[in-house]
Every structure is written in C-alpha cells, then in structure tokens.
Amino acid sequence: MNDHAAQYPARVLEVIACSVEDAIEAEQGGAGRLEIISRFDVGGLTPSLELVREIKSRVSIPMRVMLRENDGYGVRSMDEKDSLIATAQRLKECGIDGVVLGFLKENRKVDLDLLVEILAACPNLRATFHHAFEDSADKQSSIQAIKSLPQVDRLLSHAGQGAWIDKYVTADSYANAARPEIEVIAGSGIDLPAIRLLRERTSITEFHVGTAARIDGRVERKKVRELVRSIKE
C-alpha cells in the first residue's frame, strides 16, 4: 500500500444513484456514499426533491445531491440561478450530507461569486465541486480558488483524457494540492483495474462510480460489492 495513503481516511466508494432502487442496491453492496442525480446521460442534473426525500427515507448512508440545471458548467439565466438557490434552500432541510456543484465563468475561471451565493442558501451542508473543474483554464489556480470555500470538502476529478495509467500522476498532484481542506475523489472510467492502480500508486482514497456499478443501466449490489472489496483489500 502507498505509505502516503495510509495517512488519510478510510477508502470510500461513492455510487451514482438515479432512483430509489439504485440507492438501495448501492447501500446493500457496501457503498460509503451516494451521489443523487437525474439525467445520467448528460453527466447528471438536479433530481426532484421527491426522489431525494424518498431515498433519504430508505437508506442510511451519506448522500450528496447534484445542483446543476443544464448540461454545461455555467448558469444561463437569472431564472436558472434562482432555481438553484431555491433548491439549495429546500435541500438543507432534507437531512442529506451535502450537494454537488461547480460553475465556471466565460473565461473558464471558477465562478466563486455564484458558488458563494448558492452555498449560502444551504450553510449546513458540505459540498463536492464536480467535473466543471476539468474545464477550468488553470487547474492549480482552480484548486486554490475552490479551497477558499469552507463548505467544499471534496473535488471530483478524472485528471484529463485518456487511460488512468497515463494520468494517475496528475490525479495525485491534484490530491496533494487540495489537502488538507479538500479530498479528491477519482471519477470517470473508474473500474476494478483503475481502483487497484490508484490504490497502489497514489494517495487517493475515494472513488466515484457510475457505469461500473451497473448492469443494464441499473445499480446492482454484486457489482458494488466487487468494487468495495477492491478498494479495501
């Protein structure tokens, strides 16, 4: 095991859930956290509050809920911004662990003003900054900007295009730059070989999966169980 990784918290598998059934299967398989979304096909949009409440009533593991109204990484109208703030206000009463969000300005810098405004609507919740990070112009500057947001304690990253064998060093550099305020979650293309590679060669301890936990588009506990076993062996 990577000696550096031993300094950090127990490994966690985060599973994307689009339904109550997904959430139950993920929990039964041993997942440590859920990301609740709609529209898996576009990388995740804000789910309905009804779905969030129903999942919360059926599972006990921590869950984070996507706050994203379109398939890009910006806000396209004042109505959309108001909708995000209103949803954040409602989510703070749902007993969830946190939200998942990320916004960039037209110059591809992190939109701190918008993030501050939305997070202020749910001050009791933690936050994950999602893959908008990958479209930012300067990754190290973006990490420093995100670290200025006290509620953000996770950063989801795929470390660029290509296979994990070609980018694990980049992912680890992000993880080291983000600590101690933020833990990087490795996501996108995460499967059994990728988890083993990242466990052995990086300090990353959290893994985000979608397709790898699914059979025919639905989360299956046996797939989750295999992934959990691989991060803890």
CATH of the domain at 93: 3.20.20.380
Whole-angstrom CA distances from 89 to 18, 119, 180 are: 21, 9, 28
Mean pLDDT, the chain, whole residue set: 95
pTM of the full structure: 0.94
Burial (CB count within 10 angstroms: exposed 0-12, middle 13-18, buried 19+), residue 44 = buried
Q: What is the mean pLDDT of residues 54-81?
A: 97
Q: Specify the pairing of strand 214-215 against strand 206-209.
A: unpaired
Over residues 15-42, the pLDDT tens digits come to 999 999 999 999 999 999 999 999 999 9
* Average pLDDT rounded to a whole number, residues 172-186: 98
Q: Which two structure tokens, joined as six digits, stand for 215?
A: 């059979």
Examine the pLDDT at 8 and tell me if it is beyond 50: no
Alpha carbon dihedral 213, 157, 60, 151, in 10-degree steps, equals: -170
- Residue with the two structure tokens 């609507």: 121
Cα end-to-end span (Å), the chain: 10
| Count of domains for the chain | 1
Host domain of residue 34: 5-232
pLDDT at 7 over 60: no
Instruction: Please give the pLDDT value at position 9.
Output: 55
